[in-house]
Amino acid sequence: MHFDDRYEWFWSYERRQKTSPPPVIEPNTLRLEFDMDVVKATKADLNKNDILRAYEAMVWDMIVTRGLRKD
């Protein structure tokens, strides 16, 4: 949720136009429940905070990837 807001914040921050903290990553409730069910079913040693950190890494990766341009 709010990917475009984070995208705009990231590039404004990179251009030194913003110094406020980035918008908080808020995963869709159904997505989080699904991922937690997968963790439970696979008996992985992960908790909600681990999943949220993974979401954060994916979001920042998607932001940078979206910002890439063809040479």
Tokens (6 digits) for 32: 């989080």
Q: How confident is the model at residue 28 (pLDDT cuts 50, 70, 90)?
A: confident
The boundaries of the domain holding residue 23 are 3-67
Cβ-contact 25, 52 below 8 angstroms: yes
Spatial neighbors of 51 by CB under 8 A, at least 6 apart, are: 32, 35, 36, 39
Closest to 10 (Cα-Cα) out of 49, 1, 20: 20
The total of structural domains in the chain comes to 1
User: What percentage of the chain carries pLDDT values higher than 70?
Assistant: 85
Tokens (6 digits) for 52: 């949220």
Task: Give the pLDDT of residue 68.
Answer: 67
For the chain, the C-alpha Rg in angstroms (whole number) is 15
Task: Give the pLDDT of residue 3.
Answer: 74
Report yes or no on whether pTM surpasses 0.75: no
* Higher local confidence (pLDDT), 25 or 56: 56
